[in-house]
Amino acid sequence: MTLLRVLQERLRAACVDCGIDEADAGRASLSHAADLRFGDYQSNAAMVLAKSAKRSPRDLAEALKASIEVEDIGEVEIAGPGFLNFRVSAPAYAERLSGLMDDDRLGVEPVESPRRIVIDFSAPNVAKPMHVGHLRSTFIGDSLARIGRFLGHDVISDNHIGDWGTQFGMVIWAWKRSLDRKSLEDNPLNELLRLYRAASERCGEDDAVREECRKELVALQQGDEENLSIWRECVSLSREGLEVIYDRLGVSFDHWLGESSYNDRLSDVVEDLVEEGLARESDGAICVFSAGLEDPGVDPFKIQKDGGWEDKPMIVRKSDGGFNYATTDIATVDYRLEELKADAAWYVVDHRQGDHFRQLFAVAARRGCRMGLEHVSFGTILGKDGKPLKTRSGDLPLLSDLLDDAVEAARKSSEGRSRVEKQEERDALAELIGISAIKFMELSHHRTSDYIFDLDKMVSMDGDTAPYLQYSYVRCRSIFAKMGGDYVPDGAALELSEERELHLARMLVRFGEMVPVVLEGFRPNLLAGYLLELARAYHSFFQSCPVLKSEGAIKDTRLALCELTARVLRQGLQLLGIEVPERM
């Protein structure tokens, strides 16, 4: 059990001893101390519970202090109006460290009630560019999947690609007229994108072309053999092209249930919605309207206009009979619930789709769906000018270009200082560091905040970056290389004597307390921030505490600190989807 939980339970037991009933005692909470000068953990339980205990906060704090059992962990003090500050002793930390040495999970306990969670992330659109927005989704989703699995949840990752949409009218139109077979073989994603762009440009100029594209789409939807076979080829080539990118990113999926996988279910879904009384006809389309049970300010089916509220229905069948993104998503919810038997589905998608998901989740709730649905939304990546990132020509930058640029930046930044000599190994290292750098930049920001895409900054070794953490790992490991072998603890008791050793131990012990919190609010940035803090604690320890030159229990302890720092860094980065090199 983590220290946090042990203290939490003991605090609750103390509350009960002090005459507070069980339910109230459950409200006594404990957290990491905001300021380490006052201790390691703190609680405001005495203030929160004073009223129900019919005592003054200070009085209750005194009583809790007297009855809580902490001798084996450290000591407790009262501060201010009744805060309880807990300080963990050096021997207690040393004992925890020894425990971590034998623990593959490094103190991270599996959750008590695992859930089956579908994580819907990445989801680019076939024949459209996979851009930085998809990059955010890919990295956040992949990291949540890794963390969820590590915590013992049954995670199903699903790439809900946009493989059925209006873009196919245009792609098929251009395919029939100007397909370049050679280029399609060399780089399918680029060729499909070129076709799409060519057609969409022509549509803008010429209504007749737009009409032709629309007809191609209708033919496809009605099962025209030629169009279907072009569509099939587009989807399978896209998938191949995407797999190359995902391989490079180290990301994989359990399923690729794209939009088209739900085609057969759409008409039934709409029929059901009508039968259930949720959807009705309006101007030839079938729509879901507000149930009228909520305040319009929070009703996803209302929109403010000219000082009043207007209906903003969710269209599930267009007046031309076609189904859309919303219909597919409703069918997808059903599938995940009924076929995948999921307890939850998390959608890692751009914040601009917020309204869509509010409507989708409301429809699901009205149909009695008990799956936990979450929109894990995120903000925008900005260029150095503070505006959404664009290429010089004004397009969204392509993902593959961004990756190449990052690898190049990593190569440049390591020039002159890398200890790695073989060219091949250097290339592999630049690839690893470049891609890790982008991932870490992403995951170290709170997902809803916008951030500036600054390659030089992200590959820098001195900032809050992936290479800084990877270097810290290499540094920890280098001690063992110098020593000529791995650390084999001889079982003697560890001893923490220096303040910096103690602080590093404290950070290591926190790993198990930190990881589960990431899933509350979907915040991989907490883990990223923790790893940076751990690395800083390590460097400051390493500067002032000689390892190989020390002796006896001190040397053993310091080696254990190095070993555990390396393991926690490696495991923590791995949960963010980042690998560590053994040399840099």
Q: Which residues bind ligand ARG (CB under 6 A)?
A: 120, 123-125, 160, 162, 329, 332, 347, 349
Strands (DSSP E) found in 393-463? 451-452
Beta carbon of residue 88, minimum distance to ligand ARG (angstroms, whole number): 44
Query: Measured in whole angstroms, how far is the alpha carbon of residue 139 from the centre of its chain?
Result: 6
User: Rounded to an integer, what distance in angstroms lies between the CA atom of residue 500 and that of residue 544?
Assistant: 8
Beta carbon of residue 318, minimum distance to ligand ARG (angstroms, whole number): 18
Beta carbon of residue 197, minimum distance to ligand ARG (angstroms, whole number): 17
User: Rounded to an integer, what distance in angstroms lies between the CA atom of residue 453 and that of residue 442?
Assistant: 9
Backbone torsions φ then ψ of 548, nearest 5 degrees: -70, -25
Nearer to ligand ARG, 193 or 476 (CB): 193
SS3 content of the chain, % helix, strand, coil (to 5): 55, 10, 35
Beta carbon of residue 267, minimum distance to ligand ARG (angstroms, whole number): 19
For residue 43, give the 3-state DSSP assignment: strand
SS3 annotation, 145-198: HHHHHHCCCEEEEECCCECCCCHHHHHHHHHHHHCCHHHHHHCHHHHHHHHHHH
For residue 286, give the 3-state DSSP assignment: strand
Nearer to ligand ARG, 203 or 257 (CB): 257
Beta carbon of residue 125, minimum distance to ligand ARG (angstroms, whole number): 5
Beta carbon of residue 5, minimum distance to ligand ARG (angstroms, whole number): 36
Q: What is the largest CA-CA distance in the chain?
A: 85
User: Rounded to an integer, what distance in angstroms lies between the CA atom of residue 527 and that of residue 576?
Assistant: 8
Nearer to ligand ARG, 164 or 468 (CB): 164
Nearer to ligand ARG, 332 or 470 (CB): 332
Q: Evaluate whether 163 touches 183 at the Cβ level (below 8 Å).
A: no
User: Rounded to an integer, what distance in angstroms lies between the CA atom of residue 570 and that of residue 573?
Assistant: 5
Nearer to ligand ARG, 123 or 459 (CB): 123
For 499-508, give one letter per residue: b (16+ CB within 10 A) or e: ebbbbbbbbb
Beta carbon of residue 259, minimum distance to ligand ARG (angstroms, whole number): 7
User: 509 Cβ partners below 8 Å, 6+ apart?
Assistant: 2, 3, 93, 96, 97, 100, 107
Q: Evaluate whether 379 touches 447 at the Cβ level (below 8 Å).
A: yes
Nearer to ligand ARG, 123 or 430 (CB): 123
Return the H-helix or E-strand segment holding 303: strand 302-305
User: Rounded to an integer, what distance in angstroms lies between the CA atom of residue 340 and that of residue 175?
Assistant: 36
Beta carbon of residue 168, minimum distance to ligand ARG (angstroms, whole number): 14
Picking from 540, 475, 531, 541, the residue whose alpha carbon sits closest to that of residue 508 is: 531
Q: What angle do CA 413, 419, 422 make, to 5 degrees?
A: 95
Nearer to ligand ARG, 158 or 501 (CB): 158
Nearer to ligand ARG, 123 or 371 (CB): 123
Nearer to ligand ARG, 125 or 444 (CB): 125
Backbone torsions φ then ψ of 281, nearest 5 degrees: -75, 145
Backbone torsions φ then ψ of 286, nearest 5 degrees: -105, 125
Beta carbon of residue 157, minimum distance to ligand ARG (angstroms, whole number): 12
User: Rounded to an integer, what distance in angstroms lies between the CA atom of residue 111 and that of residue 470?
Assistant: 29
Beta carbon of residue 434, minimum distance to ligand ARG (angstroms, whole number): 24
Nearer to ligand ARG, 155 or 535 (CB): 155
Beta carbon of residue 137, minimum distance to ligand ARG (angstroms, whole number): 8
Q: What angle do CA 536, 542, 544 make, to 5 degrees?
A: 110
Nearer to ligand ARG, 120 or 216 (CB): 120
Nearer to ligand ARG, 212 or 259 (CB): 259
